[in-house]
Structure formats: structure tokens, C-alpha cells
């Protein structure tokens, strides 16, 4: 979420662009069907493969949704993810309209051994929801929510953005805890874990999934819940995209007033150390109803840096439980107020993310020690050509109560997720900024314990395997059962052998 805060502080380096409209289906079938030649592509193992024009025509004819080639209208928008430093060009893109299309697309990719990327909201830092010369399955035409208020369930299509879930649930006086930016894809968020502003009260997104429909590597659609394919249900909740494409989620809903006390208290960046010390103590002791993040952000040029606390409170005693905020002195700004939760969930959105290159490192903490505070503050270096930010995401509370083996998500020990990020103007060389971020993080990483797989970047296989902790052996077994050829490899990947 606070990636957005420090990016917004750098808006002066690049104008915001309007979001492209969703492409019309008109003419897209024909664009695929009139392919006049064979198509060069790559397999999952990197070897080249040629897709016959006849095979592409057959694929297009079997789908309700479009197949996009490089010359097709809508291709340029579909291939992009929100991190514009990722510039990859799939050989073909399928935009399913339902589970049947997903099954057909997966079967095609499997039959040809294609490198396969799956895109929901496109928020992946590392760009794994797109690829070069493989197939991308873009779920943007599979967005919908149905709420059953009596059963307290929300049925959510796999390409849905979380803002729609918030909106539909709120209309019935209910909520399920998802992320913190309304245009985040529910699929990627949830299968990785799903941290959000209400997670300390109601648990992670994975803790509220009561069933899934998954298209696995053989093109089958399987139900996963506590009694049907329980191993698949276990793995999908925290194993990312390793086991298939979730085309439908069933979420538990909780009665909710619909309002929170939320906003930010903002100070000059020279207050960062003091603020972080207060945060370290308060966040550890706060009741589950309190969600609070620390943010330190410096825009390009070395001036105008800020430190802030971002607060979302879902209880009935705001004066008591947020009293520590009154001890901080007079802020530059204080936006904390009672507001609708669905509005607050949009507060981190911005018009178009595709204006700056980004790189981030992250890790979980079991607390924020004085040594960690010194590492964060003392190593922080502004730069005239980049935005630099450090921020946390409050964990603990209900997040930490389920046993580690409840699902594939293993990091129940986390009290905070800590992130360091840099961004730069598109067209500039990002290498020196990424190098600084890696060097900075190397001084902090020893004080962390594991990391969030939704923020995986360029970690080694050994590091990825170790990050699943004691759940890793079972992850391998589930992977071998449902994806023995590792078709779904563009993720925090677990190999089937």
C-alpha cells in the first residue's frame, strides 16, 4: 500500500496518464483468426517452439473471449503490468470470459509446453504476470461478485479487483479482509496470503477463503475446500499461483458497521526516528482493532521528505485506543477521521501506476528493535533522481493465531512486514537505484525472518524454498500432484521434484 504513498510524493517527475479503457471484443476474434503465419514462442524451459497458425485459429475459435496477437487492438494494454520497468511481450494473450475459456487456454499452453503467465490486477513487482514470447492469460474479463448475506458468503470471480468485493459486501453490512488498494487483483493477493487493514481483526484473506474452483495444469477444474481436494485447498491458500488458476473464490463475510477511523498523521522526515520508536512500541501492544503503519518517504531532489503513521481503527473506543497519537506533537497534516471503509480502501489508489519504474525488497519482523531502527534510519539515502521509501504493514493479532500448518502461508510469527522501495522516471537507468536498494536491504535483512511471496523479486531458488519454512515438503508433494511439469512456474515457484 505505502508503495503508493512514496510514489505519489514523486508525481512531479512524471505526469499521470488516464487508465486505458477495456478493449472491446469486436474484431478481436478476427485479429487472431487471420494470423497468416506460424508464431514463434518459447516453452517453460526456455526452448523455442513454433505454434502453427492453424493451432492458433483453432484456439481462437474455441473461446468465447479474445486471443490477442502483437498486432491486435488491446494487446499493448493487456501485456503491461503496473511496474513500467517491466516491458515484456507475450507471443499471444488469452482473455477468458469464464472457467471454460481458462480450461481451454491452460490445455493449449500445456499441450505446447508454453511459458505461461497469469494476470489478474498486474500488481506483481517482478512482472511475473506477463512474459516474453510465452502465453499470458489475462483474467480482466472475469470480474464479478455475488453476496449471500444469509450464509455470509461472497462468491468472487478470479479476475475481480478487491474494490468490487468491498463494495458489494458493504451493501449488506458485511466485509471480508482483503488488501489496501482497491484496484488490486483478488486472485494474486489472496493466493499469496492477503494482508489488509482489517486483517488483525479478521485474519488474512487466505484465512477467510472457504472454497475455491481451480483450473489445474491438465485443464481440469477442481473444487478445493476442507472436504474436497483438501490438499489443493491447503496449497492455494499461501502457495501463490503454483497449483493452478483460481477461477472462483468463496469468502467468509463478517458483520461490519462499514465505517472506520482512519487517515494519517504526517511529520517532516527528521522526525522519522522518534516516530519509528513510538510505532515500534505501540504497534506491538495495540488491540486487534488497531491497524497502524509507519512510512518514511523522500521524493527526488532530497527535499520534502516525510514520516507518517497511517491508521485504520475498526473499534468503538477511538479516543482511548488511538490516544498515543496525541503525544506526538503537532503534525504537518492530520487526516484521521471517521469515514466509510470502502472510501478509505481507495485512498491509496492513483490514476495510473504506469509512470515510474519500481524495485522493492521486503521481509517480516517479530518486532522492531533499536538495532533495526538504526539500520532503517542511518542507512537511508535520498537521491536526486529517485523516490526512496521505507514502510511497514502491521501484522500480528488474528493473523498470528492459526497454526502454521493451517494452510500454505507459513509466516504466522510476523508482527510487521517491512519494505524498502525505490522508484525512478521511466526511461532513466534503474540499475544504480536497484543496486542501492539491494545494498541497503543487505544491512536490514538479517533482522528479518522470511518475506511475503507476493513481493518476491529476484530471490534464489534456495531462498524461495526456505521461505516456505516447515510447509515446504508438503508444498512439493501438492505441486507434484497437480502440476508435475511445472506449467505454473511464474510465481514464487516450488518445483515438483
Nearest to 316 by CA among 335, 289, 293: 289
363 and 351 co-located in one domain: yes
Residues 435 and 321 in one domain: yes
- CA Rg, the chain, in Å? 22
| Residues belonging to the chain | 497
20, part of any domain: no
What is the Cα–Cα distance from 144 to 164, expressed in whole angstroms? 8
Residue 18 lies in a domain: no
CA distance 325 to 336: 10
> Does residue 106 have a pLDDT over 90?
yes
Q: How much is the pLDDT for 123?
A: 87
- What's the pLDDT score for residue 36? 59
Q: Do residues 111 and 242 share a domain?
A: no
What pLDDT score does 353 carry? Answer: 54
Structural element, H or E, at residue 202: helix 199-202
C-alpha 479/C-alpha 473 separation (Å) is: 10
Q: Quick one: 133 and 153 in the same domain?
A: no
Residue that is written with C-alpha cell 518459447 in the block? 42
pLDDT digits (tens, 9 = 90+) for 155-188: 999 999 999 999 999 999 999 999 999 999 999 9
* Statement to judge: residues 263 and 248 lie in one domain: no
Closest among 146, 370, 404, 407 to 277, alpha carbons compared: 370
The three-class DSSP label of residue 205 is coil
Answer whether 130's CB lies under 8 Å from 109's CB.
no
Q: Is 46 exposed, middle or buried, given 0-12, 13-18 or 19+ CB atoms closer than 10 A? A: exposed
In this predicted model, what pLDDT tens digit does every residue of 203-256 receive, in sequence order? 999 999 999 999 999 999 999 999 999 999 999 999 999 999 999 999 999 999
**Virtual torsion, Cα 91, 96, 100, 105, nearest 10 deg:** 10
Q: What gap in Å lies between CA 428 and CA 356, rounded to an integer? A: 10
Domain assignment of residue 64, given as a range = 25-138
Q: Cα 82 to the chain's mean position, in Å?
A: 11
Do 97 and 64 form a contact (C-beta atoms < 8 A)? yes
Clarify whether residues 41 and 133 are in a common domain. yes
Separation CA 238–CA 204 (nearest Å): 10
> Residue 374 sits in a domain of what CATH number?
3.40.462.20
Of the candidate ranges 132-141, 193-202, 233-242, 346-355, the one whose mean pLDDT is the lowest = 346-355
Per-residue exposure over 454-490, b if at least 16 CB sit within 10 Å of its own CB, e if not:
bbbbebeeeebbebbeebbebbbebbeebbeebbbbb
Among 455, 453, 487, smallest CA distance to 469 is for 453
* 270 part of a folded domain: yes
Are 130 and 136 contacting, i.e. CB atoms less than 8 angstroms apart?
yes
Nine-digit cell string for 196: 489488509
pLDDT tens track for 426-474: 889 999 999 999 999 999 999 999 999 998 888 899 999 999 999 999 9
Position 34 scores a pLDDT of 44
> How many structural domains does the chain have?
3
pLDDT confidence tier of residue 398, bands split at 50, 70 and 90: very high
Strands 174-175 and 209-215 turn out to be: unpaired
Domain of 131: which CATH number? 3.30.43.10
In the chain, the percentage of residues whose pLDDT exceeds 70 is 92
CA distance linking residue 303 with residue 294, whole number of Å: 19
If you average pLDDT over every residue of the chain, what do you get?
91
**In a domain? residue 493:** no
State whether 390 and 277 are in the same domain: yes
Say whether both 269 and 307 belong to one domain.
Answer: yes
State the DSSP string of 261-299. EEEEEEEEGGGHHHHHHHHHHHHHH--TTEEEEEEEEE-
| Residue in this structure with the C-alpha cell 488490486, named with its chain if needed | 184
**What is the pLDDT at residue 5?**
53
Binning pLDDT at 50, 70 and 90, where does residue 18 land? very low
Q: pLDDT band for 57, please (50, 70, 90 cuts).
A: very high
Quick one: angle between helices 431-444 and 370-378, nearest 10?
160
- At 274, is the secondary structure helix, strand, or coil? helix
Residue that is written with C-alpha cell 512500541 in the block: 281
Q: Return the beta strands (E) in 127-271 as ranges.
A: 135-138, 145-148, 153-157, 174-175, 209-215, 221-224, 245-252, 254-255, 259-268
Last residue of some domain: 86, 121, 138? 138
Whole-prediction pTM: 0.91
- We report the CATH number of the domain holding residue 181 as 3.30.465.10
pLDDT digits (tens, 9 = 90+) for 75-96: 999 999 988 889 999 999 999 9
Amino acid at each position: 500500500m505505502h508503495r503508493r504513498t512514496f510514489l505519489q510524493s514523486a508525481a512531479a517527475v512524471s505526469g499521470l496518464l488516464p487508465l486505458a479503457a477495456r478493449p472491446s471484443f469486436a474484431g478481436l476474434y478476427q485479429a487472431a483468426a487471420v494470423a497468416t503465419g506460424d508464431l514463434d514462442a518459447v516453452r517453460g524451459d526456455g526452448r523455442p517452439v513454433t505454434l502453427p497458425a492453424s493451432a492458433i485459429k483453432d484456439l481462437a475459435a474455441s473461446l468465447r473471449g479474445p486471443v490477442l496477437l502483437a498486432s491486435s487492438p488491446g494487446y499493448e494494454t493487456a501485456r503491461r503490468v503496473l511496474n513500467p520497468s517491466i516491458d515484456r511481450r507475450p507471443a499471444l494473450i488469452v482473455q477468458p470470459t469464464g472457467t471454460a475459456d481458462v480450461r481451454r487456454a491452460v490445455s493449449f499452453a500445456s499441450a505446447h509446453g508454453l511459458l505461461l503467465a497469469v494476470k489478474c490486477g498486474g500488481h506483481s513487482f517482478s512482472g511475473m504476470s506477463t512474459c516474453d514470447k510465452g502465453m499470458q492469460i489475462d483474467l480482466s474479463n472475469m470480474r464479478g461478485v455475488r453476496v449471500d448475506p444469509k450464509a455470509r458468503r461472497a462468491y468472487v470471480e478470479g479476475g475481480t479487483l478487491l474494490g468490487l468485493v468491498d463494495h458489494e459486501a458493504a451493501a449488506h453490512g458485511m466485509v471480508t479482509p482483503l488488501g489496501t488498494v482497491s484496484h488490486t487483483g483478488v486472485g494474486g493477493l489472496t493466493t499469496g496470503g492477503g494482508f489488509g487493514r482489517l486483517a488483525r481483526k479478521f485474519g488474512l484473506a487466505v484465512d477467510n477463503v472457504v472454497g475455491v474452483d481451480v483450473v489445474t495444469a491438465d485443464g481440469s477444474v477442481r473444487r478445493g475446500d476442507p472436504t474436497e481436494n483438501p490438499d489443493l485447498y491447503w496449497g492455494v491458500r499461501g502457495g501463490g499461483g503454483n497449483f493452478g488458476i483460481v477461477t472462483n473464490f468463496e469468502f467468509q463475510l463478517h458483520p461490519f458497521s462499514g465505517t472506520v477511523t482512519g487517515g494519517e498523521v504526517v511529520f517532516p522526515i527528521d522526525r522519522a526516528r522518534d516516530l519509528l520508536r513510538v510505532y515500534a512500541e505501540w504497534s506491538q501492544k495495540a488491540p486487534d482493532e488497531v491497524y497502524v503503519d509507519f512510512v518514511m518517504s523522500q521524493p527526488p531532489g532530497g527535499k520534502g521528505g516525510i514520516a507518517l503513521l497511517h491508521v485504520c481503527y475498526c473499534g468503538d473506543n477511538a479516543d482511548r485506543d488511538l490516544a498515543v497519537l496525541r503525544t506526538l506533537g503537532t503534525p504537518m497534516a492530520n487526516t484521521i477521521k471517521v469515514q466509510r471503509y470502502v472510501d478509505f480502501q481507495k485512498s491509496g489508489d492513483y490514476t495510473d501506476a504506469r509512470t515510474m519504474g519500481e524495485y522493492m525488497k521486503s521481509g517480516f519482523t517479530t518486532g522492531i528493535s533499536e538495532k533495526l531502527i538504526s539500520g532503517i534510519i542511518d542507512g537511508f539515502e535520498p537521491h536526486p533522481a529517485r523516490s526512496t521509501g521505507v514502510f511497514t504493514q502491521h501484522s500480528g493479532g488474528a493473523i498470528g493465531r492459526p497454526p502454521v500448518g493451517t494452510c500454505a502461508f507459513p509466516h504466522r510469527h510476523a508482527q510487521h512486514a517491512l519494505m524498502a522501495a525505490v522508484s525512478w522516471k521511466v526511461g532513466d537507468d534503474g540499475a544504480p537505484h536497484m543496486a542501492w536498494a539491494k545494498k541497503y536491504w543487505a544491512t536490514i535483512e538479517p533482522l528479518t525472518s522470511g518475506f511475503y511471496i507476493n513481493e518476491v523479486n529476484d530471490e534464489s531458488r534456495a531462498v524461495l524454498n526456505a521461505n516456505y519454512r516447515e510447509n515446504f515438503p508438503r508444498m512439493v508433494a501438492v505441486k507434484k500432484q497437480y502440476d508435475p511439469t511445472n506449467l505454473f512456474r511464474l510465481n514464487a515457484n516450488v518445483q515438483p521434484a
